[in-house]
Structure 1
Amino acid sequence: MRIIVPMAGRGSRLRPHTLTIPKPLIPVAGKPIVQRLVEDITKVCGEPVEEIAFIIGDFGDQVEKDLKAVAEGLGAKGSIYYQDEALGTAHAILCAKESLDGKVVVAFADTLFKADFTLDTNADGIIWVNRVEDPRAFGVVQLDEEGTIKEFVEKPEEFVSDLAIIGIYFFQDGKNLSNELQYLIDNDIKDRGEYQLTNALENMKNKGLQFKTGKVIEWLDCGNKNATVHSNQRVLEFEKDLDKIDASATIENSVIIQPSMVLAGAKITNSVIGPHVTIGKDSVIENSIISNSIIQNDAVVKEANFTNSMIGNKATYQGSKKDLSVGDFNEIND
């Protein structure tokens, strides 16, 4: 089994956090998004993963080392491929053509999921889907009476289905997928100006391959700040039975409301943290009230009172102290 992870996008909707780090390496509940993604896929594969191939942009040597370490931590070989130009999902996957061999899972690295099943690797292909209220922004599938996919539609203007493709796919034969992707490129077959994976899937279906759907308990998007903070909240809920306060963290005159996470070397003083907060390594929090937020590594936050927020690595937030005298029956909203 191989896992292919296209992740070359710029992550513009998550700026400014993605100006210095690729979006898939943004931490959610203390781990990079892409690490959580491949760990979750490995759990449901039902067989060993021999290679994890990452398709990236010009992210630098350290990012490449970090990604290879993620693969090695799961007992797999880490491979790096490059996508120099954003030409669509089909083009992105084909950048890892050398690794499209045998059983393959393709997973785009801006999504997390919770599932309780083992992947049926006897199928020609499995497409993970989730019901959505507005399917116009997604590729969707239509099913026949037996639950087999009968049509793939990319971002339909008119309603055809509310089963959205979440960006995770299994293929019994990676070479077959590779050939179909190459056919799109060679014949310049585009949809909305890009080479789309859904076109390749439709061609494969028309040649007799049967695709089933894999359903998830919960699908978590990490495309923008609000979605990433929400994903942090949900992952902390999933793992609520774990001890999430590192032994090396310092907690002084403070309350940590679970589920929250405090990583190694963090120092929290005179504060109320949580619920649903992740405090990164070696960050300092003083005199603050913080809920439903992500504080990354080496950050300093003082005199703060906020929620639904992200504070980046080595960032500093300094609020303001107030000396107040408020009389009876008054109400102040600040």
Structure 2
Amino acid sequence: MLKAVILIGGPLKGTRFRPLSLDIPKPLFPVAGLPMIQHHIEACVSVPNLKEILILGYYPASELTQFVAAMVQEYKINIRYLQEFMALGTAGGIYHFRDQIRLGSPEAFFILNGDVCADFPLVEMLEFHQQKGNKPLMTMLTTEATRQQSVHFGCIVQDRDTHEVTHYVEKPSTFVSTLINCGVYLCSLELFHTIATVFNARQQEYYNDGAGNGKEVIQLERDVLMPLAGTGRLFAMPTNNWWSQIKTAGAAIYANRHYLELYRSHSKERLVERGPAAGDGSKCSIIGDVHIHPTASVHHTATLGPNVSIGSNASIGPGVRIRESIVLSGASIANHSLILHSIVGRLSSVGQWSRVEGTPCDPNPNKPFAKMDNYSLFNSDGRLNPSITILGCSVTVPPEVILLNSIVLPYKELTRSFKNEIIL
């Protein structure tokens, strides 16, 4: 029997994801038509003998109750949300709820960071972990980054033959390795003994010296992985599958593109059939991969794609062109408007003949992931970098205006065009 733990953090995190996280918890932000962590759940459900999924974080339970109930109903698997009493760190929450994870004596359990998006190779990880016998305490998923990108992640040095991790550094100040940590792990229950050692040392320091107030905050990367490297108990499984993180809204556009591409192989029913508009007015013109929620209304003269997601109850008018964008639930795009490289927030409206446009900031699209999440929002002189355009919740864009490379906070009613601005 196996379990999975999804770490989602809490409302104090994800500030770089604003304004999109102001009206919805970041883990529930829809990417390719599904809440972000539903992609994690789908990957876990595909693993044989995985019986329970635990979601750990410090969001108020009321914000996830409906989502969890819907997931249990859809996937027929036991899913629970366990709320931390404070931010306990990536390993602190796991240790705090150790009895819940160990309940039923699972053979092993997965840990998935909630801000990771990927073609998760969980079944392959399980096979890799089992092939090592009783040696591994933990197997981590790894991928290759460029030399410049690697310092933004946990960097791994491994034995090329055995894949044993001999050295690990979290976000090093200088180059260590191009092999990086993907934030996906498979762990034996013995891991709790290792975390307990860290926890007890923290408690001792606190009561002896009164140092700090984070005696229960434990970071998996710094407090567990770094000391574990070189002991013969930590292994790295490389993958060539697509992988990225969602730290900023720009990364959501990138993740949307790749999840839509993955639908082609395992969920074709979520994509609209490609091709020109139907003569009977039943279908608009579709280019590339496009997801349209069944409740959305799209005029047959509109053209969507590639890489577009349209949310529930959205309305797309005649002659509208949308490309590389996410339109969230209840949004309306009026006649002959253009939406490029943008996210249109919930219940927002774009007037007719308007142009909402961002600039793609994918510095290396040929890599298995792109560092859009570390792409700085501002230049060194303080000006806004070219990026996607984001409309927060309930934003009104009037007819015949241009909104270029700008971020609009919720409940704003614009009166003119903007370029490279944040509208507060």
Please indicate the TM-score interval, normalised by the length of the shorter structure.
0.7 to 0.9
Q: Number of residues paired by the alignment?
A: 317
Amino acid at match of 1:165: N
Please state if 1:282 is matched with 2:306: no
Distance of 1:12 and 1:247 partners within structure 2: 31
Are residues 1:306 and 2:330 paired?
no
Verify the 8 A CA contact 1:110 1:222 in the aligned structure 2.
yes
Contact residue 149 and residue 213 of structure 1 kept, 8 A: no
* Shift of residue 165, structure 1, vs aligned partner: 0.7
1:233 aligns with 2:257: yes
TM-superposed CA distance for 1:109, in Å, is: 0.3
| 1:11 paired residue number | 14
Counterpart CA distance in 2 for 1:63 and 1:4 is 15
Please tell me whether the aligned partners of residues 5 and 54 of structure 2 are also in contact (alpha carbons under 8 angstroms): yes
Q: 1:19 to 1:265 in 2, by over 3 A?
A: closer
What is the one-letter code of the residue matched to 1:15? R
After TM superposition, give the deviation of residue 54 of structure 1 in Å. Answer: 1.0
Structure 1 residue 207, shift from structure 2 partner: 5.2
Match of 1:38 among 37, 41, 45: 41
Correspondence for 2:142: 129
Distance of aligned partners of 1:178 and 1:271 in 2 relative to their CA distance in 1, 3 Å threshold: farther
State which drifts further: 15-24 or 61-70.
Answer: 61-70
Partner SS, residue 39 of structure 2 = helix
Kindly tell me: are residues 42 and 205 of structure 1, through their superposed partners in 2, closer, same or farther at Cα, counting changes over 3 Å?
farther
Instruction: State the one-letter code of the partner of 1:136.
Output: V
**How much does 1:305 deviate?**
1.1
Match of residue 293 from structure 1: 342
SS of residue in 2 equivalent to 1:187: helix
Report the equivalent of 1:219: 243
Deviates more, 1:293-302 or 1:199-208: 199-208
| Deviations, residues 44-78 of structure 1 (Å, cap 9, x unaligned) | x3x13211111121434142331343255333212
Aligned to 1:143: 158
Question: Contact 1:68–1:77 at 8 Å: present in 2 too?
Answer: no
Q: CA deviation at 1:179?
A: 1.9
The aligned residue for residue 269 of structure 1 is: 317
- Quote the residue 1:185 is aligned against: 199
Q: Distance in 2 between matches of 1:182 and 1:64?
A: 30
Measure, in 2, the Cα distance between the counterparts of 1:6 and 1:115: 15
Q: Quick one: distance in 2 between partners of 1:247 and 1:26?
A: 18
Residue aligned with 2:49, SS? coil
State yes or no: 1:317 paired with 2:332: no
CA change 1:140–1:178 in 2 (3 A) is: same
Which residue identity does 2:19 align to in structure 1? Answer: P
Q: Which amino acid aligns with 2:194?
A: E
Gaps of 5+ in 1: 323-333
Q: 1:249 to 1:197 in 2, by over 3 A?
A: closer
CA contact (8 A) 2:256 2:309 kept: no
Counterpart mapping for 1:49-60 below 5 A: 49-60=50-61
Of 213, 227, 245, the residue aligned with 2:292 is 245
- Kindly tell me: are residues 269 and 319 of structure 1, through their superposed partners in 2, closer, same or farther at Cα, counting changes over 3 Å? same
Q: Give the 3 Å change call, closer, same or farther, for CA 286–197 of structure 1 in structure 2.
A: same
Q: Which amino acid aligns with 1:129?
A: T
- Tell me the SS of whatever aligns to 2:50: coil
Structure 2, unpaired ranges of 5+:
206-213, 273-290, 358-387, 402-418, 420-424
User: Secondary structure of the residue that 2:341 maps to in structure 1?
Assistant: strand
Q: Is the 8 A contact 1:143 1:151 kept in 2?
A: yes
Q: Is the 8 A contact 1:4 1:96 kept in 2?
A: no
Higher RCO (CA-CA < 8 Å; seq separation 6+)? 1
For residues 278 and 310 of structure 1, what CA distance do their matches in structure 2 show? 10
Can you list the C-alpha shifts for 1:127-157, whole angstroms capped at 9, x where unaligned? 1112223322221211113122222222222
* Per-residue deviation, residues 209-258 of structure 1 (Å, max 9, x unmatched): 25231414211211011112221222233335522334543223422234
Q: Contact conserved, 1:100 with 1:178, CA < 8 A, in 2? A: no
Cα distance in structure 2, aligned partners of 1:163 and 1:99:
33
More off after superposition, 232-241 vs 53-62: 232-241
CA-based RMSD of the aligned residues comes to 2.8
Q: Render the CA deviation track for 1:161-204: whole Å, top value 9, x for unaligned.
A: 12111111011x22x112211211110299xx863313323555
Once the 2 structures are TM-superposed, how far is the Cα of residue 41 of structure 1 from its aligned partner? Answer: 3.8
> Is the 1:55–1:82 Cα contact (8 Å) retained in structure 2?
yes
Match of 1:88 in 2: 89
**Alignment check: 8 A CA contact 2:142 2:182 kept:** yes
Distance 1:145 1:238 in 2: 30
Partner letter of residue 261 of structure 2? E
CA–CA distance in structure 2, aligned partners of residues 306 and 145 of structure 1: 48
Q: CA separation in 1, counterparts of 2:294 and 2:57? A: 35
Q: Distance in 1 between matches of 2:320 and 2:226?
A: 53
